[in-house]
Amino acid sequence: MDFLTTFCLGILFILYTVYSEKHPVLKEYEVGKDLFLYCTVEKIEEAMWKNEKQVITIGERVFGGDKRISIVPKGSTGYQLKIKGMKSEDEGNYTCKHKSKADIYQQYAIKRKVKVSIANNTFSGSVVRVMENETVILWCNASGYPEPSVSWYVIDTDNLQGEKITALGINGNMLGIQNVSRDCATTFQCQAVNSYLTDIIAKRTIKLVVNFFPEISANGFINDKKISRQILHGKMSDKVKLTCAVFSSSPLNVTWLRDDEEIGWYSSLTGEDKNKLTHLNPYSLKSNTAQIEKRIIEVVLTFQLDTGTFSIYNCKAENEVGSNIKTIDIRRIGTR
C-alpha cells in the first residue's frame, strides 16, 4: 500500500468517524413521572451512563446516592437507565458509552415539558400609547416547552352582544401596525399554546391608545338659528348659543374665553363644569357628555347680547398631547 493510498484511507476513516457519530435523541418528560433511557451495549459490566455533571452508573452500580436512579437490564445487552419521579433539574444531555473507551452507544437530549405562560414582564403591557400616524409594535413572548405558538386577536365591545373576539390571522410574538389611525384604538389579545397540556391557553390583553391633538367643531346660533360662519352678527337682546364639540383621545379640559378672559371650563377628569364670570355677565355654561363614550364632549355657552357681550370668543381644548383653539367673533349688526 503506497503513501497516497494510506493517506486517502486515513481521510476516509476520519470522515467516517465524524459523520457516524451518534446525534442525541430528543426525549421529553413530565415532572413527577418515570423516565426510561434505552441503550444497547456489548457488555453491561463495561458500560456506563453519564450526564453533563457526573458519571451516573458503571455497570449496575449507581453513583451519587440518588435512590431514584437504577439500572434495569434487558437481556445481556440491554442497558436501561430508569429515573423515578423526574425533577426539573434532571433536564440535560445523557450519554451511554463504554466505561473506558471512547465508544458511544447512545445519546439523549432530555427536555422537560413546561406548560405555556406569558409573564408580566414579557409582553408590551396592558396599555400601549402611540401617536397617530406613527408605527407601533405590540409583542408577547410566551414561554414553555415544546415551543409555544402565538396568535393575535382583536376584542370588540358591543352594548348588545357584549365582548367579541376576532382572530386577525397573524401568528408570531410581534404585531406591527404602520401609520396608526384612530380606528386602531382598540383592545388586542395575544394567545399562546403549545402541544403540552393543550387545553391551557396563555392570554395577555393589550389596550392600544392612539393619541392625537384635540379636534374642535365650534358653531354659533342666534335666536336658535345656526350661523355657518365664524363671524356672527346680532343685535341687542338676541339670544346666543355657542357650542364647542371636542373629539379627544384622552381626558381633556375645555375652556371658553372672551377676549382671552376665562368665562368657564369643563374638565373630563373630574366631570365638573364651572362658570367664572356669571356674577359679572349673564353667561351660562353647560357640558354635554352624552357622547363621552365616543370621546366627544360638547361644552355649550349661552347668553344674551348686550353692550358687554359683543366680543371675540375662543374655545380652547387641551389634552395630554397638546391643545387646539377655535374662534367665533360676535359683532353688532351694522359693524364689520
* CATH ID of 115-211, from 2.120.10.90, 3.40.50.10790, 2.60.40.10, 3.30.200.20: 2.60.40.10
What pLDDT shows up at residue 292?
52
Question: What is the residue extent of each domain of the chain?
Answer: 3-112, 115-211, 215-332
Cell of 205: 390583553
Measured between alpha carbons, how far is 140 from 233 in angstroms, rounded to an integer?
59
Residue 95 CA to its chain's centroid (Å): 42
H, E, C per residue of the chain: CCHHHHHHHHHHHHHHHHHCCCCCEEEEECCCCCEEECCECCCHHHEEEEECCCEEEECCEECCCCCCEEEEEECCCEEEEEECCCCHHHCEEEEEEECCCCCEEEEEEEEECEEEECCCCCECCCEEEEECCCCEEEEECCEEECCCEEEEEEEEEECCCEEEEEEEEEECCEEEECCCCHHHCCEEEEEEECCCCCCCCEEEEEEEEEECCCEEEEEEEECCEEECCCEEEECCCCEEEEEEEEECCCCCEEEEEECCEEEEEEECCCCEEEECCCCCCCCEEEEECCCHHHCEEEEEEEEECCCCCCCEEEEEEECCCCEEEEEEEEEECCCC
Residue 29 is which amino acid?
A: Y
Contacts of 198 (CB under 8 A, 6+ apart): none
Contacts of 279 (CB under 8 A, 6+ apart): none
Cell of 220: 354659533
β-pairing, 114-117 with 143-145? Answer: antiparallel
Contacts of 334 (CB under 8 A, 6+ apart): none
Residue 9 is which amino acid?
A: L
What pLDDT shows up at residue 21?
52
Work out the burial of residue 155: count CB atoms within 10 Å of its CB; fewer than 13 is exposed, 13-18 middle, 19 or more buried: middle
Comparing 3-112 with 115-211, is the CATH topology the same?
Answer: yes
CATH T-level assignment (fold) for domain 215-332: Immunoglobulin-like (2.60.40)
Measured between alpha carbons, how far is 222 from 277 in angstroms, rounded to an integer?
21
Average pLDDT per 10 consecutive residues for the chain, totaling 336 residues: 40 37 86 96 94 94 94 90 96 96 95 96 96 96 97 85 89 96 93 95 96 94 93 94 91 90 85 60 76 74 91 94 95 80
What is the domain class of 3-112 according to CATH? mainly beta
Cell of 55: 458519571
Cell of 113: 415539558
Contacts of 124 (CB under 8 A, 6+ apart): 137, 138, 139, 140, 206
What pLDDT shows up at residue 294?
60
